[in-house]
Amino acid sequence: MIRCSRAVAIAGVLALVIFPPVPGQQPEQARPAGDPVSDRVSSGDWGVTLDALRTIRAAGHQDLDTFTNALRGALWARRVVPAGELSTFDLGVQGSYNWSTGQTYLNLDRLRAVGRYPELLGPTSVAETTVGRFRFQDPSGLVLNHVGDGLSAGVAYPRARLRFSALYTGFLLNPVSTVRMTGTDLLEEDDDDEDFGPRRVVGLAELSFPALVARQTLVTGAAGQYDLRDAGDGEETVHSGYAVLGIRGRLFGSLYHDVYAVGTAGTLERDENGATESEDFTGYLGSARLRLFLPGFFASRLSLQGVYASRADANNDLIGDGYLPISRTRLGTVVRLPLQNLLFTELSYSMRPFFDSASERARRVQVVLTGRGFFTTSDRPVVLDPATETTGDGFDLVGIDSEPAGNIIGTEVVLRINARPLSDLGLGMTTGMFFPHTGSAGVFTGDREPEFLGRVELSTRL
């Protein structure tokens, strides 16, 4: 099925006409020495990126091995326009053609204008505005991390930074929207009759204090989303708010950390036999991560992370019970689990085995080994992404215990190799195994078996 929005195509063409790129020209090269700053000229670039991947999934409880393919070609352009002596406008656009097994569509990935205004609000200030389609994110990245249509404005000082953002999600095409908060949203995700994603208005605010004490940065934030649809015909809608508090920085040497706490509260509405029922919910999330950088030892990086997402009431059937993010974060590689009713642990180590080689190609080779553990935070059944449960005939959720006695989901081990044989050609190879936990301490029945994933990715930039 081919999906193409006329507005997307028109916007992309207009952007390229209004902001024609100038290949190869750089701001520093465009201004001869001795010219005043006010005589700066605009510069730009454009290009094409191609990404392709092939994936195989196999498990004993599935009837057939599953092969999936995906191809993405993107055309992008960027132009930087000086304004006055200090300010600049950074204009960018990207459109893509996306093909995967069973789905084809055109998409406007990005169309944004960024204005930067040094000294606008004081000699040490840098103000910034962004408008259009671009990526929005809360301070933790665990509430919202998604592209949207809207605007953002902020100001940064050496000791404080403030930003406000507002976005709308209803213009995003259905295949690219992961703003999935209710059962209705999840059903629409694979509905070919739905052209656009859920219609929500989201507001964000962030206040941070860089290097406040002992090189630690304190971050505070707030977010809120309002569902513009009406609960009816058996549908669900949800309105929710979030408070974020975090601290990040360097502990000592090459060891860094970040810790975030998120609290949420909201109301879920659902139509039952012609009457609208509503119920309030609350939830919380905690995240902590340590990162150790060892550049002299094979350019190594070591990361340890833990994330806890609550499930407040095990007897409540509403999907909104407990922690519920705005964009649906799915954790894992072989299996994918939403960040709800979940304790997630991860230990990852990466290295460049030929980091001191005379060959630049050899120095680019990176090996990443990751181990993950998954646990539920209540006695509710585990929820898996249906995309990882595909059998020969469709979705088949095999071995999920409807009344689990334990809370151990399982463990996952993933090995990834990244290489760049050419400067504009990237290669990635991933292989992994998921080992489900069955029995009295697990959430699966004995029908569930270990799962294997293999993936090859190619990317190039022209």
Strand partners, 43: 80
Q: Is 462 exposed, middle or buried (0-12, 13-18, 19+ CB in 10 A)?
A: exposed
Q: How far apart are CA 13 and CA 34, in angstroms?
A: 37
Q: Which DSSP string do the residues of 64-124 spell out, in sequence order? A: S-EEEEEEEEEEEEEEEEEETTTEEEEEEEEEEEEEETTEEEEEEEEEEEEEEEETTTSTT
Q: Which two tokens stand for residue 78?
A: 């960027």
Chain segment 280-320, per-residue pLDDT in tens: 889 999 999 999 999 999 999 999 999 999 975 544 454 54
Distance CA 427, CA 81 (A): 34
3-state class (DSSP) for residue 411: strand
Q: What is the pLDDT of residue 214?
A: 85
Q: 195 by DSSP, 3-state: which?
A: coil
- Below-50 pLDDT ranges, the chain: 1-38, 314-316, 318, 320, 391-394
pLDDT in tens, 206-220: 999 998 888 899 999
For tokens 């080779």, the residue is 365
How far, in Å, CA of 369 to CA of 375, rounded? 21
Give residue 321's pLDDT. 60
List Cβ<8 Å contacts ≥24 apart for 260-263: 260/139, 260/140, 260/142, 260/219, 260/285, 260/286, 260/287, 260/288, 261/285, 261/286, 261/287, 262/140, 262/142, 262/143, 262/286, 262/287, 262/323
Global pTM value: 0.85
Residue 396: the pLDDT is: 58
Amino acid 102: pLDDT: 78
Under a CB-based contact definition with an 8 Å cutoff, are residues 242 and 209 in contact? Answer: no
Question: Distance between CA atoms of 44 and 21, rounded to whole angstroms?
Answer: 5
